[in-house]
Every structure is written in C-alpha cells, then in structure tokens.
Amino acid sequence: MTDRLRRLGFLHIVPFARDAPATGLEEALSLFAYAEELGLDGGWIRTRHLQYGVPSAAVFLAAAAQRTRRIDLGVAVIPTVYESPLRLAEDLATADLLSGGRLQPGLSVGPPRLPGEVAERVLGERWRDEDVSYARIERILAFVRGDAVDREREIGLGGVTELSSDRVEPHSPGLASRLWYGGGSLRSAEWAGRTGLNLLVSNISTAEDSEDFSTVQRQQIDLFRSHHPLGDAATVGKGHVILPTDNATPAQRERFAAYVEARTPRTRAPQGPGRTLIARDVIGSTEEIVAQLSADPAFTAVDDLLLELPFSFPAEDQRHIVHELATNLGPALGWSPAC
C-alpha cells in the first residue's frame, strides 16, 4: 500500500467494430457512467488514428460529460502532431466547460507513427516541416492559459461589426493546471517538470541508466518533481495493465492468463534501437496484486493509478475489471470511493 495514492481510474481505447462504430462508442460511454456509480475518480481514453479506436478526444469526452456529473475525464494521450495547436486548445476548452471543469488532457509530441507515404497522404506534403518539439505543447499551453495572441478589436464587414478577443476562446479557467505530459524518458520528465505540467507514465519507458523498469520509472518521477515548481507535491499518474482474477469466471481467468502470457516475452529485454522497456502486466488475486504493487518503487510514488483495459477484451471483461478496481483492489490499496 501507499499513503500517496489518492485517485483511481481506468484507461480505455474505446474499441469498435469497423461496420458498427456507434456500438463501441456507446459501450464506452456506458462504462464511464458505471465507473462513476462505483465511486471511481477518473475515466480516461486513449486516442487512435487510422485504427478502430476513438480519434477525437474532445468530442468523446464532451459526450461523456453529459452522461456523468463528477468523474474526471482524461485522455492519455493526444499525439499533437495530428492536431492544430489552435483548434486543439479551442476544442479542449469547449469540452472542459461542458464538463464543468473535469477534463484531464494528456499530450505528447513526436513525429507520426506512420509510413512516410501514409503520413504525407493524411498530413500533407510538408508534414516533415511540422514542429514536433516540446515548443508545440508550450504553444498549446499558452493558448489554454489565455495568453494574449492579439488585441481586442472590432471587425466590420458590410455594416456588421463583431468584437474579436485578444486570446483563444472559449477560455476555461483552471484547464491549464490540468494538462499532462505523457513521458517515458529522463529528458521528457525533466521538461514536464520545468514546464509545470502533470506527468503521465505508463507501461512503456526507455532504458537509460538501468534496464529495470521500475527503477527507470522511479528515476523519471523523482527527476520530474525535482524540477517542478510544486516540488514533491507535483502530480504523477501511472497507467498499467492490471487484471484482477477475484470473482472472475473460469473463462475470464483463462482469457486473462493467455493475454498476459502472449505479451510477456517483450518485457524481458529492451526493444529496438530506442531501447524501449515494457513493463510486465500484473495479474492475480487482490492480495497478489497489492503485494506486487507495494514492492514497485514507481507505484509507491504516484498519485493517480489508471488501470489500462485491454482493447481486445469484450465489454463484460471491461466492466469486471472496473468493478474489481472500485470494490476490492482500490480499498486494499488504501483508497476510498468518492461519495
């Protein structure tokens, strides 16, 4: 257990079938409402492009806001290379206002993970000239914060006058303090801290000073807080695949075990030229999961835990995992459901 953990949520890819996307979207919205009923603190989504997962975070979360009243609505993460910084800032602020200030947007930078010819087809011929550095997020942060980009002035056309704003509109006070950066290296952790963002870490990281996943991730968390204006009070969230087997059916236990077994080989050594480290999924009874998490130095340093839901599992498995998180695993970790 950890005294630091304060919020629990789930992370969902919002999967759908090619010929029935509305069904998958509706199932996900129902899961958000169910999680709120159980007292969980957050419902988060992943974004996917050219895949069978939700690409439009602000649109989906605005819809989720109308199905819920309390739960945080997060996204981990939005790859900003696909976004216009101006339009993204506008969309996030609009969705945040519609939610009553519950959005928790996570952002990332970097080139598109697409073959060159596909990137050119979807992003245009000059996609390689796009700024995919941290400066892209700094610009989004400034827009969300309400920094001036113009001056208030009147625009007249054909006898009709409109007033323009000096900042990006709409403005949602407090949203800037709820922006997260999805990091997985010492460099990204330090930058996120210096920039004053919240930090999201996941089951993917980079082998730098060590090849032990938990050691590497704890180094990133500590470095982030050492450079953040809030110091040790700076917020860190962690996403991880955790599969509780208590109260699972025999078929579910078999499915969970097969899923973990298929994914385990890639966790044994750094992957590729970037030396990517992948954490092993956690599976077992509540007692076994608590013991494993309590021995993880990265877990004991996080404020928010997000259970990553396997996208290949049916809706009933997703609900089982969310239910076990709220009713068994969470309380065993020292967490209490929201009223």
Taking only the tens place, the pLDDT of each residue in 25-54 is 999 999 999 999 999 999 999 999 999 999
Tokens linked to 57: 């975070």
Pick the CATH number of 7-332 from 3.20.20.30, 3.40.50.150, 3.90.79.10, 3.40.50.20: 3.20.20.30
Taking only the tens place, the pLDDT of each residue in 61-108 is 999 999 999 999 999 999 999 999 999 999 999 999 999 999 999 999
Cα gap 13→166, rounded to integer Å? 36
Cα 225 to the center of its chain, rounded Å:
19
Cα 128 to the center of its chain, rounded Å:
26
Residues in contact with 294: Cβ distance below 8 Å, sequence separation at least 6, in sequence order: 1, 2, 300
pLDDT of residue 302: 98
Taking only the tens place, the pLDDT of each residue in 162-221 is 899 999 999 999 999 999 999 999 999 999 999 999 999 999 999 998 999 999 999 999
pLDDT at 1 over 60: no
pLDDT at 161 over 90: no
In the numeric block, the tokens 């078929």 are attached to: 251
pLDDT (mean) for 290-294: 96
pLDDT at 339 over 70: no
Taking only the tens place, the pLDDT of each residue in 217-243 is 999 999 999 999 999 999 999 999 999
pLDDT at 264 over 60: yes
CB atoms within 10 A of CB 96: 27
First to last CA, the chain: 22
Backbone angle region of 29, left / alpha / beta, with phi > 0 → left and psi within -120 to 50 → alpha? alpha
Tokens linked to 137: 């997020």
pLDDT at 273 over 80: yes
pLDDT of residue 159: 73
Bridge partners of 205, per DSSP, are 277
Cα gap 200→247, rounded to integer Å? 30
321: phi then psi, degrees, rounded to nearest 5: -65, -45
pLDDT of residue 2: 63
Q: pTM higher than 0.85 for the full model?
A: yes
Lowest-confidence segment of 37-46, 118-127, 289-298 by average pLDDT:
118-127
Cα gap 294→306, rounded to integer Å? 16
Detail the DSSP E strand segments found in the chain.
Answer: 7-12, 42-45, 72-79, 103-108, 153-157, 160-164, 180-182, 198-201, 204-206, 236-240, 242-244, 276-278, 282-284, 304-308
